[in-house]
Amino acid sequence: MEKNKNDVIGIDDTDTFNFDDVFSTQNIDVQFDPLARLMGKLDLSSAKFLIVDPNKQIRVAVKQMLKKGGFKDYEFAGNGYEALKFIQKNMANFIICEWELSRMSGIDLLKLIKSNPKYFFISFIMISSHKSMKRVIYAVEEGADGFILKPFTEFSLMSIVKKTIEERLKPDEVQHKINEMTKQKLRHKYDKALAIGYDILKDKTNATVSRISGECFYQKQEYDKAIVMLKESLKGGKNSKTLQLLGKVLLEIGKEEEAISYFRQALTQNPINKDSNIDLIRAYLKQKKTKEANEIVTNMMESDPSYLHVIEIVRLYIEFDGIENIASYIEKIEPIEETLSVFYDCAIKLGKNGNYDDAIKILEICDNTFPESHFIKFNLGVMYYQVKKYDKALYLFKYTLKLNSRHEKAKKFLDYISKMASSL
């Protein structure tokens, strides 16, 4: 039976296709960055290392190993959030990071680094005391350049560091193109990324390139083509990120049950990566199967979820109006600059539904962490005004104007409270 060109292309692994039918073959000029720019002008003496571990003795030990290996530049962080703040201000060539960290885990930090076009080229070596192949697979799928078990020797650490440097400075031609393709994708330059992908795939199959191409088509909402490329990627071996992305595509085109099947396959492939659980929750909420979604959330919250997963759970409940438990979920973590908007949205959602006490709790957590935020101060004042705690509201509106003298809404609330007080 002939396929209608408007139908979604199937995912039968026996299908073949013509690359020219999938890719636009128009000439797109792509300027490749020199390797020195991708890696930084790097030699054994100039590489900058960020060592991330909650244990000071471990940090010092790693520093000594690097020093003996000829490296001279090292900085330290005790948790994932400190590391992220350092990278945003100072940059580094290498991150050597413990998996188990407070505030933000090592795997969360890895995901943030490798998903940012400014930082994805930073070499990332994960260290862990857990002898688990599942962790190794998870870290590699998220872009880790190396994985080393504690306790480790100077020889084993330096072997991984020097091997990573060699691979970065002298990659083969295909890997160089994949690096550039990844950078263009992260910059949302999907056509440029696809042009590079086409240039590679016209000569040789490559599962990674097919997956990145599928992601670009997904972002461009060209779902037929995304399915083709993700299917092609899976021919090179199952990968949880590819299975998960295929599920996302199917969810977008309304094939919820097929999407759920792929999310479950992704979890089977990489059971400790709960990203697919987040997608399962979304799929169930989209189907209005609240019970099934809540069961997954409960299981995740009982198994020490990562910081980013808690944030994603709260985002989903805000999106789908499931406010019953979001306050108890978000109170388990601390806001950081990158997630402050989620805390804020959560508080506003609760306030609009009349749950002022929980909204106040969340905004107070935000206020303690970001005391100079005028919009947090103002909205906390509004919540106190709603529960008729006018003294606190008055103080907060005055403080809002101290931080932002042109805040008109704060002025109006102050005038209203003053008039109300004078009439009593």
Instruction: State whether the Cα torsion 170-59-310-384 is positive or negative.
Output: negative
pLDDT band at 243 (very low <50, low <70, confident <90, very high): very high
Residues 49 and 145 in one domain: yes
What is the 8-class DSSP label of residue 388?
T
pLDDT band at 8 (very low <50, low <70, confident <90, very high): very low
In the structure encoding, which two tokens stand for residue 69, read together? 């290996």
Question: What is the domain range of residue 378?
Answer: 371-424
Looking only at the bridges linking them, the beta strands covering 48-52 and 94-98 are parallel
Please determine, for residue 291, whether its predicted confidence score (pLDDT) is greater than 90. Answer: yes
The pLDDT value recorded for residue 424 is: 56
Residues 107 and 222 in one domain: no
Burial 204-238 (b: 16+ CB within 10 A, else e): eebbbbbbbbbbbbbeeebbebbbbbbbbbbeeee
Residues 125 and 208 in one domain: no
Residues 6 and 82 in one domain: no
Contact between 107 and 79 (Cβ < 8 Å): no
Please determine, for residue 30, whether its predicted confidence score (pLDDT) is greater than 70. Answer: no
Query: Lowest mean pLDDT: which of 28-42, 198-212, 221-235, 343-357?
Result: 28-42
In the structure encoding, which two tokens stand for residue 279, read together? 């997608």
Contact between 145 and 124 (Cβ < 8 Å): yes
The answer to whether residue 229 sits within a structural domain is yes
* Chain position carrying tokens 């020219």: 20
Tell me how far apart the alpha carbons of residues 83 and 74 are, in angstroms, rounded to a whole number: 12
The answer to whether residue 331 sits within a structural domain is no
The answer to whether residue 95 sits within a structural domain is yes
Instruction: State whether the Cα torsion 257-137-169-63 is positive or negative.
Output: positive
Residues 57 and 130 in one domain: yes
* Domain end residue (candidates: 155, 170, 185): 170
120 — phi, psi (to 5°)? Answer: -60, -25
Tell me how far apart the alpha carbons of residues 305 and 297 are, in angstroms, rounded to a whole number: 10
33 by DSSP, 3-state: which?
Answer: coil
Tell me how far apart the alpha carbons of residues 275 and 267 are, in angstroms, rounded to a whole number: 8
Q: What's the total number of domains in the chain?
A: 3
Give the model confidence (pLDDT) of 54-81 as tens digits: 999 999 999 999 999 889 999 999 999 9
The answer to whether residue 307 sits within a structural domain is no
The answer to whether residue 356 sits within a structural domain is no
The secondary structure of 285-341 as a DSSP string is: HHTT-HHHHHHHHHHHHTT---HHHHHHHHHHHHHTT--SSHHHHHTTS---GGGHH
The answer to whether residue 298 sits within a structural domain is no
Per DSSP, helices labelled H in 187-255 are 190-201, 207-219, 223-234, 240-252
What is the 8-class DSSP label of residue 163?
H
Average pLDDT over residues 278-300: 93
Please name the amino acid found at residue 95: I
Q: For a pLDDT cut of 70, what percent of the chain falls above it?
A: 89
* Chain position carrying tokens 């330290």: 76
Q: How many CB atoms lie within 10 A of CB 305?
A: 22
The pLDDT value recorded for residue 337 is: 86
Residues in Cβ contact with 202 at an 8 Å cutoff, skipping those fewer than 6 apart? 19
* Domain end residue (candidates: 170, 190, 216): 170
Residues 179 and 103 in one domain: no
CA neighbor of 125 nearest in space, from 83, 97, 86: 97
Residues 12 and 124 in one domain: no
The answer to whether residue 316 sits within a structural domain is no
Please determine, for residue 273, whether its predicted confidence score (pLDDT) is greater than 80. Answer: yes
Which CATH number is 219's domain given? 1.25.40
Helices 290-301 and 275-286 cross at an angle (nearest 10°) of 160
* Domain end residue (candidates: 191, 208, 236): 236
Tell me how far apart the alpha carbons of residues 255 and 261 are, in angstroms, rounded to a whole number: 10
Residues 145 and 207 in one domain: no
Tell me how far apart the alpha carbons of residues 163 and 30 are, in angstroms, rounded to a whole number: 29
The answer to whether residue 196 sits within a structural domain is yes
Give the model confidence (pLDDT) of 115-140 as tens digits: 999 999 999 999 998 888 889 989 99
- In 46-98, DSSP assigns E strands to 48-52, 73-77, 94-98
pLDDT band at 338 (very low <50, low <70, confident <90, very high): confident
- Rounded alpha-carbon distances, angstroms, from residue 290 to 17, 225, 249, 295, 319: 40, 32, 22, 9, 13
Residues 120 and 7 in one domain: no
Give the model confidence (pLDDT) of 168-227 as tens digits: 777 788 988 999 999 999 999 999 999 999 999 998 999 999 999 999 999 999 999 999
Tell me how far apart the alpha carbons of residues 77 and 342 are, in angstroms, rounded to a whole number: 25
